[in-house]
Amino acid sequence: MSDFWERALVYPIVLGVLALLLWPIAGALPAALFFGIGILLRLRMHLRNLAMLEKWLAAPEAQPVPDGTGIWEDAFSQLDKMSQRHRKECEMNSSALQQMEQATSALPEGVAILDAADRIEWCNVLAENHFGLDSERDLGQQITYLARQPEFVNYLAARNFTEPLILRDHRRDNLVLSVKLIAYGNNKRLLISRDITQLERIENMRRDFVANVSHELRTPLTVVNGFVETLHDMEHLENDMSRRALQLMGEQTHRMKSLVDDLLTLSRLENDHNPLREEFVEIRSLLDEVYRQGELLSEGKHTLQLQIESHANLLGSHEELRSAFTNLLTNAIRYTPHDGTITLSWLEREGQAIFAVKDTGIGIAAQHIPRLTERFYRIDRSRSRETGGTGLGLAIVKHIAIRHQAKLDVASEENKGSTFALVFPAKRIAQSQ
Ligand code: ADP
- Beta-carbon count within 10 A of 241 CB: 9
Domain spans of the chain, in order of start = 2-100, 107-195, 199-270, 279-430
Please give the distance of CA 349 from its chain centroid, rounded to a whole number. 28
pLDDT, one tens digit per residue, over 81-102 is 999 999 999 999 999 988 988 8
Ligand 1 atom nearest the C-alpha of 362 is 25
Of the ranges 27-31, 359-363, 404-408, 427-431, which one carries the lowest mean pLDDT score?
Answer: 427-431
Please give the distance of CA 134 from its chain centroid, rounded to a whole number. 25
Q: Distance from the CA of 404 to the center of ligand 1, in angstroms?
A: 22
- Domain range 199-270, CATH class: mainly alpha
Q: Distance from the CA of 390 to the center of ligand 1, in angstroms?
A: 10
pLDDT band at 236 (very low <50, low <70, confident <90, very high): low
**CATH of span 279-430:** 3.30.565.10
What pTM does this model have?
Answer: 0.70
For the segment 279-305, the average pLDDT, to the nearest whole number, is 95
For the segment 303-324, the average pLDDT, to the nearest whole number, is 95
Ligand 1 atom nearest the C-alpha of 375 is 6
For the segment 381-408, the average pLDDT, to the nearest whole number, is 91
Arithmetic mean of pLDDT over the chain: 90
Residues 177, 182, 183, CA angle at the centre, nearest 5°? 150
Q: Which protein residue's CA is at the shortest distance from atom 14 of ligand 1?
A: 378
Q: Is the CB of 379 under 6 A from ligand 1?
A: yes
CB burial string 31-47: b at 16+ within 10 A, e below: beebbeebeeeeeebee
Of the ranges 80-84, 176-180, 245-249, 258-262, which one carries the lowest mean pLDDT score?
Answer: 245-249
For the segment 322-345, the average pLDDT, to the nearest whole number, is 96
Q: Is the CB of 267 under 6 A from ligand 1?
A: no
* Domain 107-195 fold: Beta-Lactamase (3.30.450)
